[in-house]
Amino acid sequence: MMRGLVAWWYLSKESFNFLRRDRIFLPLVVVGIFIAYFANLASSWTFEGWDKILFDVGFAGFRLTGGLVAILWGVRMITDPLQDRSIELRIAAPTARFTWMLARYSGLAFCLILMGIIFIGAWQGLMILNKFGTMNNQQNWTMGLIVCEWLVLGSLGLLAGTIATFSTAMFITLAAWIVGLVAPIVSGTLLPETEPLQRRLIETIANLWNFQRFNMIEKLEAGQVTVNLPDLIQRLSWAGSVLVGCLVLSTWIFQRKDLT
pLDDT digits (tens, 9 = 90+) for 101-143: 898 999 999 999 999 998 888 888 877 877 777 888 888 888 8
List, as one string, the DSSP characters of 241-257.
HHHHHHHHHHHHHHHT-
Query: Whole-angstrom Cα distance, residue 24 to residue 77?
Result: 14
User: Would the pTM count as exceeding 0.85?
Assistant: yes
pLDDT digits (tens, 9 = 90+) for 11-57: 888 888 888 888 788 888 888 888 877 777 766 665 555 566 667 77
Specify the pLDDT at position 90.
65
Chain centre distance of CA 99: 22
Ranked by mean pLDDT, the top range of 22-36, 122-136, 175-189, 222-236 is: 175-189
Q: Closest Cα partner for 181 from 204, 155, 208, 211?
A: 211
Query: Whole-angstrom Cα distance, residue 145 to residue 231?
Result: 12
Kindly report which listed range (123-137, 215-229, 244-258) carries the lowest average pLDDT score: 215-229
Q: What is the torsion angle, in degrees rounded to the nearest 10, for the CA atoms of residue 237, residue 239, residue 245 and residue 247? A: -130
- Domain boundaries, given as residue ranges, for the chain: 2-255
pLDDT digits (tens, 9 = 90+) for 149-160: 999 999 999 999
Contact 91, 100 (CB under 8 A): yes
Who contacts 148 (Cβ-Cβ below 8 Å, separation ≥6)?
214, 236, 239
User: From start to end of the chain, where are the E strands?
Assistant: none
Query: Whole-angstrom Cα distance, residue 258 to residue 248?
Result: 18
What's the mean pLDDT in 94-100?
79
Query: Whole-angstrom Cα distance, residue 225 to residue 219?
Result: 8
Structural element, H or E, at residue 116: helix 97-129
